[in-house]
Structure 1
Amino acid sequence: MGKYLEDSRKLLEFIGGKENIGAVTHCVTRMRFVLNDPEKADTEKIEALPSVKGTFTQAGQFQVIIGNDVANFYNDFVSIAGVEGVSKEAVKEEAKKNQNIFQKIASTLAEIFAPIIPAIIVGGLILGFRNILGEIGFESLGQKVVDGVAQTLKDGTPVYNAIVDVSQFWAGVNDFLWLIGEAIFHFLPVGITWSITRKMGTTQILGIVLGLTLVSPQLLNAYSVAGTAAADIPFWNFGFFQIDMIGYQAQVIPAMLAGFTLVYLERFFKKIIPEVISMIFVPLFALLLAVIFAHVILGPIGWVIGNWISKIVYGGLTSNFRWLFAAVFGFLYAPLVITGLHHTTNAIDTQLVADFGGTILWPMIALSNIAQGSAVLAMVVLQRKNEEAKQVSIPATISAYLGVTEPALFGVNLKYRAPFICGMIGSAIAAVISVGFGVQANSIGVGGLPGILSIKTQFMLKFLIAMIVSIVVPFILTFLWGKKNKVK
C-alpha cells in the first residue's frame, strides 16, 4: 500500500468527495463508481492524473481506467476515501438509478447473456470445425462414390470426398463433437432460463427445470415442426382441450418469456404464501404455472415474435437494399457499444442461428471491433515515441483485436474523436462487403480477429477480404489524419 495514495487523494477530490460516491468497485483495469451527482466529477483533472489512462461513463457507471495495477490503486483509494467497496453486482444495481429505460433493458439483456456467451462461442467453433470435417470436399481425397455411382452436381461437376468420408477417426471425432454442439444449441433455453433466475435472484434450479421442460425428448423437436403435418403433431389430451407437444430447442424469445414469468410468479407467491409452508408451495405453484403458461401461451407467442424479428433482420440483410442496411449497421455499431445497447444483438444473433442455421449479423460485429482496433493501431504508430500514450493504446489494440473494444473506444478513439470516426467508416465499408458476399457465421464467436474461426467454411475467404478492409481502411484514414494534425 501507499504507491497510489497521492493520486487517490486527488481522485477523491476531483470526483466530488466521499459524499458523491454511491458505490465503488473495480474490474480488471478500471475503477467503477456510481456517483450521486455525475456532474461533480471533473474529468479533465482526473484524466491528468499520472495513474489515470482515461475515463468514460457507461450504463450509469463512471469508470476510471487505471490499468493492470488497478487492484493496488483501489486498495489505496478506499483507505483514503474511507468508503467500503462493494461487489460488481451491487454497483450494477446501484448504477441502474442513473439509467434510462433503454439502458436498463440493455443492461438486463447483457447480464442474462453474459454467462452463456462462452458456451455459444465454443459451440460456434465446434460447428466450424465440423463443417471442415464433413462439409468441404477436397479434390485430393478423390471423387465421392455412393452405391458404386460417382457423384456429380447437376452441371456435371464432380463431388469430392470430405474428410469424414475417407477417415473413420475423423468421422468419429465429427460425431463426438456433436454431443457438445447439441448440448449448447439445442438445449440453449435451459441456459437462458437459468441465467434469468440467477440475474433476478430467484431459485435457479427452478429455472433449470423450466428450461428442461422446453426441450424435453417427449416433445416434437423444434427443428422437425416445419416438416411435420399438423395432424401428426403429438399433443396432451385433456378431454375438452389439447396442448401441442412442441419443443423449443434453440429458441431464445420463448425461453426468455418463460423465464421472466417464472421469476415474477415466484415473487408473487412468496408474498402471499405463509413462510412456514412457502418452501413447499411457492416452487410448486410457480413452476407448475410457468410450465403451463410456457406451453399454452408464451411458447407459441415467443416463437412468432422470434421468427418475426429474425425474418426482418434476415430480410434486410438479403434484400436489394442490404448494402444500405449493412452500411448503417457497420457505421453505428461502435456508438451502440458506447450506450451498451449492443448487447441486444446477442438475442437477435442467437435467433438467426436457430431459424436460418447461421447469422449474417455477427460477422459485421466482429468487423466493427477489428476496425476500431485498427484505428488505435494507427495511433500506436503515430505516437510510437510517446511512452505514456502507448501504455494505453497497445493494450487497447490487442483487446479490440480479441473482441473487447471498450479500452480502445474510451481510452483512445473517443478521446481524439477522429480515430473513432475512421473506425466507423472502415467498419461500414467492411460490413457492406461482408453482407454483399452473404457471409454467415455458425454462431456468435470471438468478436475480433479470431472470429474467422466461427465463419462458415464456404465464406471464410470472403470474410478474410472484409477483415483486411476493416484493418487497412481505418489504419490509413487515422494515420493520414494524425500526420495532418501532427499527432505525437
Structure 2
Amino acid sequence: MSENKKIAKELIEAIGGTDNVSSVTHCATRLRFIVNDEEKIKKDQVENIQKVKGAFFNSGQYQVIFGTGTVNRIYEEVEKLDVNSVSKEEQKKEAGKQGNRLQRSIRTLGDVFVPIIPVLVATGLFMGLRGLLMQEQVLALFGLTPNDISENFLLFTEILTDTAFVFLPALVAWSTFRVFGGTPIIGMVLGLMLVSPVLPNAWGVAEGADPLLFFGFIPVVGYQGSVLPAFIAGILGAKLERWIRKRVPEALDLILTPFLTLLIMIFAALFVIGPIFHVVEEYILQGTLTVLELPLGIAGLLIGFLHQLIVITGVHHIFNLLEIQLLEKFGNNPFNAIITASIAAQGGATLAVAMKTKSTKLKALAFPSSLSAFLGITEPAIFGVNLRYVKPFFMGLIGGAAGGFAASILGLKGTGMAITVIPGTLLYLNGQILQYLLVNVIAIGVAFALTWLFGFSDKQMKKEN
C-alpha cells in the first residue's frame, strides 16, 4: 500500500468513515469535508496522521491542511475510497447554508471580492514597479533623470496602473451577479454604465467639475473606483433579473429580461443607490482613516495584534473592501504593512517552535508551516502549530503588535493589496523597501524570541498531547 493511500484510508476512518462524509473537495492546501455528524470525528487522531499539518472547522467545512502539491495526491486517493467528491462550487453552495447570518454574509462578501483580487494584485505590482523605475537613484544608473522620461511612457504605465480601478464597478457588478444567481454579462454591462464616459468623471468632480443635475436636485456622476454602489446594484439587479425571468414568456425571455433588468437598474443605480451608498462608502473610508491615523503608532499596535484573531473567525474578507477603497482614493494602502507584520509574526512564532522542539514530526510540520506564513498564508502555522499549543499564537499576536506599531510610526504605505511578507516586498519598491524589511524583522524577531523564551517547550507539548 502506498504512503498516500494509507494516509487517505486513516483520514477517512478518523473522520467517521465514508458514511459520515457528505462530500469532499480540495483547494490549494486543504481537503474540505462536509460531514453528516461532527461528533463522529476523532480530531486528535486526524491531527496525528502523517503529513497532516492541522485541521479545523470553518465555513461549514472540516478542513484538513496538507499543503500545496501533497493535497492533490491525497485527494486522488480519497476519491478511490467511494467518497462523494463534488466540485468546489457545489460544495460552496452546500456549505453556504451553514453558519449564522453574519458568517454567511461575510462568506458571500468573500465570494464576490476574491475573484477580483488577482487583477488588483497585478495593478499593485505595476504601481510598485513604476515607483521603482521612477526613483532618481534608479534612473541615474541608466544616465537618466525624471525629466528624460517621455509622456508616452508615463501614459503607458497609467494604462497598467489605473484601468482596474477605473472599471472597478464593472468587475464588482459582474462578480456580484455571478454570486447571486444573475447573468454575469448583464452585471458587467450595468457596472460599465456606472462609469460611462458620457457621465462626469468622479475624480474630475472631486477636483471641482460640475455633476449632472437630474430633476433639479439629484447630482449624478460616474462611479469610477466605487465599490458599494456597484455591489448593492449587483445584488438587487441579480434578484430583479431572476424575478423578471420567471414572469416573462420563454419566447420573449432573451429580449425582455436583459432589457428590463438594465433599464430599471440603471435608473435605480444612478438616482437612488449610487448617491446613497457613495455617501456610506465615504463614511466607511473616513472611519478606516480615523483608526489608521491614531497617533503614536496606536493604529498599528491594535490592528497588528487583532488581525490574526479576526482571521481565525473567518470574517477577515471584510478588509478587502477597505483596502480597495484606500487604493482607489489615495493610491496607497497603509493597512497592508500592518497586517503583513501580524502575518510575519505568526511565522516567526512557528519557526521558534520548529527550531526548539526535538520532535521530528513537529519539526516536519512547523518548518514548512512557517515558510507558508512568510509567503503570506498563515492557516498552516496557526491551526497546525500555534493555536494547538496556545502560547505561540499569543506570542505571535504580540509580535504582530510590535511590527504593526513600527509600520505606523514609519508611515509605510503599500502600492497594492493581497500579498504580504516576502511577496509583499514588491509593493514597497517605491523607496520604502528598507523600512518594510525592518518591520518584518521586528515582527518575526519579537514573536520568535518570546516563543523561544516563554511560549513553547517539549514538556508543554507532551502535556498538551
Aligned mates of 2:89, 2:454 — CA distance in 1: 41
Amino acid aligned to 1:34:
I
2:374 counterpart of 1:394: no
Equivalent of 1:352, from 320, 326, 329? 326
User: Could you say what secondary structure the match of 1:98 adopts?
Assistant: coil
Q: How does 1:253-272 map to 2 (within 5 A)?
A: 253-272=228-247
Among 156, 162, 178, the residue aligned to 1:182: 162
**Equivalent in 209, 233, 243 of residue 211 of structure 2:** 233
Residue 289 of structure 2 is aligned with which of 288, 311, 314? 314
Q: Greater CA deviation, 280-289 or 63-72? A: 63-72
Render the CA deviation track for 1:326-378: whole Å, top value 9, x for unaligned. Answer: 32221111121111111100101111222333222222111211111111222
Residue 196 of structure 2 is aligned with which of 216, 222, 230? 216
Q: Which residue in the other structure is 1:45 paired with? A: 45
Q: What does 1:419-430 correspond to in 2, within 5 Å?
A: 419-430=392-403
In structure 2, the CA distance between the partners of 1:456 and 1:12, relative to structure 1 (3 Å rule), is closer
Where 1:83 maps in the other structure, the secondary structure is: coil
- Summarize the Cα distance change of 1:75–1:484 in structure 2 as closer, same or farther, 3 Å threshold: closer
Alpha-carbon distance, 1:310 to partner: 0.8
Amino acid at match of 2:322: I
State the identity as a percent.
37
What code does the residue aligned with 1:70 have?
Answer: V
Closer, same or farther: CA 277–362 of 1 in aligned 2, 3 Å: same
Q: How does 1:23-422 map to 2 (within 5 A)?
A: 23-67=23-67, 68-80=69-81, 82-134=82-134, 136-138=135-137, 163-168=145-150, 172-228=152-208, 232-235=210-213, 244-320=219-295, 323-383=297-357, 386-422=359-395
Aligned CA RMSD, in angstroms, stands at: 2.6
Q: TM-score, normalised by structure 1?
A: 0.87
TM superposition shift of 1:246? 0.7
Partner in structure 2 of residue 150 of structure 1: none
Q: Tell whether the 8 Å contact from 1:326 to 1:428 is kept in structure 2 after alignment.
A: yes
| One-letter amino acid of the counterpart of residue 106, structure 1 | I
| Cα distance in 2, alignment partners of residues 277 and 241 from structure 1 | 37
Q: Distance in 2 between matches of 1:403 and 1:172?
A: 36
Q: Equivalent residue of 1:217, what SS?
A: coil
Which residue of structure 2 lines up, in the alignment, with residue 477 of structure 1?
450
Between 437-446 and 464-473, report the one with greater CA deviation: 437-446
Query: Cα offset for 1:138?
Result: 4.8
- Find the aligned partners of 1:226 and 1:71 in 2 and give their Cα distance: 50
Once the 2 structures are TM-superposed, how far is the Cα of residue 382 of structure 1 from its aligned partner? Answer: 1.8
Contact preservation (8 Å) 2:169, 2:195: yes
The residue identity in structure 2 corresponding to 1:182 is D
The worse-fitting range, judged by mean Cα deviation, of 345-354 and 50-59 is 50-59
Q: Which moved more, 1:295-304 or 1:7-16?
A: 7-16
CA shift digits 1:156-195 (9 cap, x unpaired) = xxxxx98432344xx6543312112121121111111111
SS in 2 for 1:114: helix
Instruction: Tell me how far 1:472 sits from its aligned partner.
Output: 0.8
Q: Cα offset for 1:6?
A: 4.2
Is 2:437 aligned against 1:436? no
Match of residue 450 from structure 1: 423
Gaps of 5+ in 2: none
Query: Residue in 2 aligned with 1:18?
Result: 18
- Conserved? CA contact 1:194–1:205, under 8 Å: yes
Offset, 1:5: 4.2
**Cα distance, 1:4–1:166 mapped onto 2, change above 3 Å:** closer
Residue in 2 aligned with 1:149?
none
Q: Check the 8 A contact 1:138/1:162 in 2, yes or no.
A: no
Letter in 1 for 2:314: G
> Residue type matched to 2:91 in 1?
V
The code of the aligned residue for 2:377 comes to: V
Q: What is the distance in 2 between the residues matched to 1:93 and 1:71?
A: 22
SS in 2 for 1:22: strand
How far off is 1:247 after superposition?
0.8
CA deviation string 1:49-98 (max 9, x = no partner): 23433211111110112343333322332332x23200112222211233
Q: CA deviation at 1:248?
A: 0.8
* Equivalent-residue separation in structure 2 for 1:59 and 1:348 (angstroms): 22
Task: Quickly say closer, same or farther: Cα 1:485–1:389, change in 2 above 3 A.
Answer: closer
Q: Please tell me whether the aligned partners of residues 370 and 449 of structure 1 are also in contact (alpha carbons under 8 angstroms).
A: no
Name the aligned partner's letter for residue 183 of structure 2. Answer: T
Q: In the aligned structure 1, how far is the partner of 2:378 from the partner of 2:138? A: 41
Unaligned runs of 5+ in 1: 143-160
Paired with 2:443 and 2:277, the residues of 1 have a C-alpha distance of 36
- What is the Cα deviation at residue 453 of structure 1? 2.4
Aligned residue-pair number: 459
Q: Using the alignment, how far apart are the partners of 1:257 and 1:139 within structure 2?
A: 44
Letter in 2 for 1:165: N
* C-alpha displacement of 1:4: 4.0
Instruction: Tell me by how many angstroms 1:412 deviates.
Output: 1.7
Shift of 1:482: 5.7
Q: Is the 8 A contact 1:307 1:355 kept in 2?
A: no
Amino acid at match of 1:410: F
CA 1:2/1:459 → structure 2, altered by over 3 Å: closer, same or farther?
closer
Tell me if the contact between 2:136 and 2:146 (Cα under 8 Å) persists in the aligned partners: no
Give the C-alpha shift of residue 305 in structure 1. Answer: 0.9
Sort the Cα spacing of 1:284 and 1:43 in 2 relative to 1 into closer, same or farther, 3 A: same
One-letter code of the match for 1:328?
L
